[in-house]
Amino acid sequence: MNDMNNFNTGSNYSQQQYPGFVQPTPPSGKPPKKRHTTAKVAAILAGVIVVGGGAGFGGAYLANRPQSAVVGTKTPDTKDDNTPSKEGTPTLDEMQDGITVPQKNTTSDVEFKSDGTYMYTRDLVNAVRDSIVYIETSAEYRGKATPIGAASGIIISKDGYIVTNNHVVEDGTIFSVKVNSTDFATGITESQTYDAKLCGTDPDTDLAVLKIDAKDLQAAKLGDSDDLRLGDDVIAIGNPLGYETSVSKGIISGLNRQVSDSKRSLTAIQTDTPINSGNSGGALFNTYGEVVGVVNEKRVDSYAESMGFAITINEAKDVINDLISNGYVTGRAILGITYLEINETAAAYRGDTAGWQVKEIDQSLPVATSGLTVGDTIIEIDGQSVLESDVTNIFSEKKPGDTVTVTVVRLSSLGREKRVDIEIELSEYKGEE
């Protein structure tokens, strides 16, 4: 059984669950075979994230897992335009140029309200349904491709660029994408499955881009999430529990929600639209038939229900463009170390200093000549405690080439602890190797 990333959920009752990594269900209407039950449960549990930090869940998690010092979830605006670095690669704006929401229907008389929105949800769904794909992620095990999960994706260009969540693809090496094409005159849907290439991922924003070799696909029109208002109707389309092209409807329950876990902090749309395992990477549509969010989380809480979240499409656009153009998000600052975060409780138990204990230093980056050494424990960055402050805010305001003052505790030759301030030039994060 593939263990994936089994997170310790502790005793907290409030959880965020990535709704997108479930063992694929057979596409036919037949009940799934029971032989995959254990793998399915493991895949679902692997997506459970507990909100916590400090001496609680977050601290315990980080104390036992190395963390790369890529911090800061915002991308500094270091570019004057969105010209891609790869020659011949179009920008997202160029891909979207000319894409409109088609007025497909089994009849010719699609009705719209006076504000231009669809009168009936069925007409909207018919117009956009083929822009949502079924993604299966596999890993090579003993020379064979072993499925480890399935979720959703959004076609954003006619030639096969697809956006999904990072957590949908991060544990896989082999990806397949099932694309539907519906003839609304006859009601017949044909499907074709493609091998997909991973263009780039961004764990900080939980976004990833895949590419399939195809033409004339039904691409979704990306809307403007800044136009959303509380109470607006929205529709989610995805593949929950393997039930392909499932539709759910709700409203905008909240805007600019800060959704955090031990890996990232996102500004998200909150919706009461039912979101379930397998919806990850699918679309949240407005009533114009435009994508306003990329579905990525749900809240699992004994005192709450119907709390789903989606990454705002406006914040996603720059990230998507960078992933297509470069394979990573440009302009993001990095220290260039791997560390273990040790909270106060763990430090007392182990006899260590609480903070970030440096485990590895990237010898190709300026940090290697800064004076920082493996074994140092970072306690402050620019005067702010790494355990008590939101250090990501420090780095979100920095760009590669800027300098930070890192305060460490290290042992002297006599075995005594001493504090040392070190100036470190920040480097650019260029994605996971």
Q: Which residues are catalytic?
A: 167, 206, 280
Roughly how many angstroms between the first and final C-alpha of the chain, as a whole number? 26
H or E element, residue 121:
helix 121-128
* Helix, coil or strand: residue 334: strand
| CA 26 – CA 207 distance, rounded (Å) | 26
| CA 211 – CA 139 distance, rounded (Å) | 18
Tokens, residue 55: 């001496």
Please give the single-letter amino acid code of residue 430: K
| CA 240 – CA 313 distance, rounded (Å) | 21
* Helix, coil or strand: residue 313: helix
- Angle at alpha carbon of residue 387, lines to 383 and 389, rounded to 5°: 55
In sequence order, the 6+-apart residues with CB closer than 8 A to the CB of 125 are 235, 237, 247
The answer to whether the CB of 367 falls within 8 A of the CB of 343 is: no
The dihedral sign for the CA sequence 236, 240, 245, 246: negative
What are the C-alpha distances in Å from 259 to residues 154, 245, 280, 342? 22, 26, 15, 23
Please give the single-letter amino acid code of residue 38: T
- DSSP H helical ranges for 129-234: 166-169
How many helices (H) and strands (E) the chain has is answered by: 8, 23
| CA 212 – CA 304 distance, rounded (Å) | 39
CA-atom Rg of the chain in angstroms: 23
In sequence order, the 6+-apart residues with CB closer than 8 A to the CB of 39 are 1, 2, 23, 148
| CA 262 – CA 144 distance, rounded (Å) | 32
| CA 158 – CA 61 distance, rounded (Å) | 42
* Helix, coil or strand: residue 420: strand
Q: What are the φ/ψ torsions at residue 75 (nearest 5 degrees)?
A: -100, 115
Tokens, residue 340: 């273990």
